[in-house]
Amino acid sequence: SGTGKGLAAKVLHHNGVRAEKPIIELNCAAIPETLLESELFGHEAGSFTDAKKMKTGIFEDANGGTIFLDEIGDMSLSLQAKVVKAVEERTFRRIGGKRDIRVDIRVVAATNKDLKELVEKNQFREDLYHRLNVINFEMPSLRERREDIPLLTEHFINYFNMDFNKNIKHVPEEVEKAFMNYQWPGNVRELRSTIERAVLLSEGDTLNPKYVQIDEQIKGVKIQGDEHKMFFELDMDKLTLETVEEMVIKKALELTNWNQTKAAEMLGVTRQVLRNRMIKMDLLN
């Protein structure tokens, strides 16, 4: 869960021939069965008690484009039968409708369940399984594809820059290393929310490490803190006085947006003493 299935579906859509048409996502597990059919196929006015006016469903709204059915393994067998017909014949009827509506759509589906096992247990229709299983691939967890982390980080920073009217351009090396070493139990969803918080709270053009909070202890600096506290996780195999000193100075500079005067005050030294240490550590460039 949270591996980025929806993001992958959007990539497939926007890099295909249907890119100019809509992509609509629907989580089959998040909507009660009584409402799911209407969300998929729409309904005519008066077709049931609360149907005061006609409503189109995503099969109709996404005509020419793509629908992404997440958690399709949670869909009821009776509704699966209607989806099979719509996928095979490319026609359907709204609830209460008397005419077939023809559509041209691509269906992408995802689930965290073993559909083959569900078919064997008669909990998922075999015909729908084969209709959807034309091309399939497994989305590994984020920790199994760490090479995606820098690309996803860049994507989410750009996304939230637009959303929050920010201008974050730089990710400190400290944060990059922490992201690559972290296990990401919440997968892409956790990475997204971590970056969302940091972008929202950071000022200037750099992602501020003090706003990047991840829970698991990792070797190196644990990226967490505020103006009054620093938290470190140290690699005992590489622990030296010089290493600790450099880590503390870098952290103080990050927490103060590289303001040397404020960093010196935080460390309890003069600005000149701090500058001498920075020159020694080649931190002024």
Q: Is residue 213 predicted with pLDDT exceeding 90?
A: no
**Model confidence band, residue 199 (pLDDT cutoffs 50, 70, 90):** very high
pLDDT score of 223: 45
Q: Do both 126 and 71 map to the same domain? A: yes
Q: What is the mean pLDDT of residues 109-135?
A: 92
Residue 271 lies in a domain: no
Q: What is the mean pLDDT of residues 278-285?
A: 83
Q: Do both 150 and 110 map to the same domain? A: no
* Average pLDDT taken over every residue of the chain: 86
Q: Is residue 219 predicted with pLDDT exceeding 50?
A: no
Domain final residue, candidates 163, 195, 214: 214
Q: What is the mean pLDDT of residues 267-279?
A: 87
For residue 179, the enclosing domain spans 142-214
pLDDT score of 6: 84
Distance CA 104, CA 147 (A): 36
Per-residue pLDDT tens digits for 236-245: 566 677 888 8
Number of domains in the chain: 2
pLDDT score of 214: 80
Q: What is the mean pLDDT of residues 164-169?
A: 93
Q: Do both 117 and 152 map to the same domain? A: no
Q: Which residue has the higher pLDDT, 221 or 40?
A: 40
pLDDT score of 135: 87
Domain final residue, candidates 189, 214, 239: 214
Q: Do both 87 and 119 map to the same domain? A: yes
Closest CA to 43 of 102, 94, 101, 99: 94
Query: By the 8 A CB rule, do 225 and 40 touch?
Result: no
Residue 240 lies in a domain: no
Q: What are phi and psi of 194, to 5 degrees?
A: -65, -45
Residue 226 lies in a domain: no
Q: Do both 205 and 119 map to the same domain? A: no
In this structure, the number of other CB atoms found within 10 A of the CB of residue 137 comes to: 6
Q: Is residue 80 predicted with pLDDT exceeding 70?
A: yes
DSSP string, 45-68: TTSSTT--S-B--HHHHTTTSEEE
Q: Do both 72 and 13 map to the same domain? A: yes
DSSP string, 81-95: HHHHHHHHHSEE--B
Per-residue pLDDT tens digits for 13-44: 999 899 999 999 999 999 988 899 999 999 99
pLDDT above 70 covers a percentage of the chain that reads: 90
Q: What is the mean pLDDT of residues 135-149?
A: 87
Q: Do both 120 and 183 map to the same domain? A: no
123: domain CATH number is: 3.40.50.300
Q: Do both 127 and 146 map to the same domain? A: no
Q: Is residue 137 predicted with pLDDT exceeding 90?
A: no
Q: How many contiguous H segments (helices) and E segments (strands) does the chain have?
A: 12, 5
Partners of 95 in the beta sheet? 43
3-class secondary structure, 109: strand
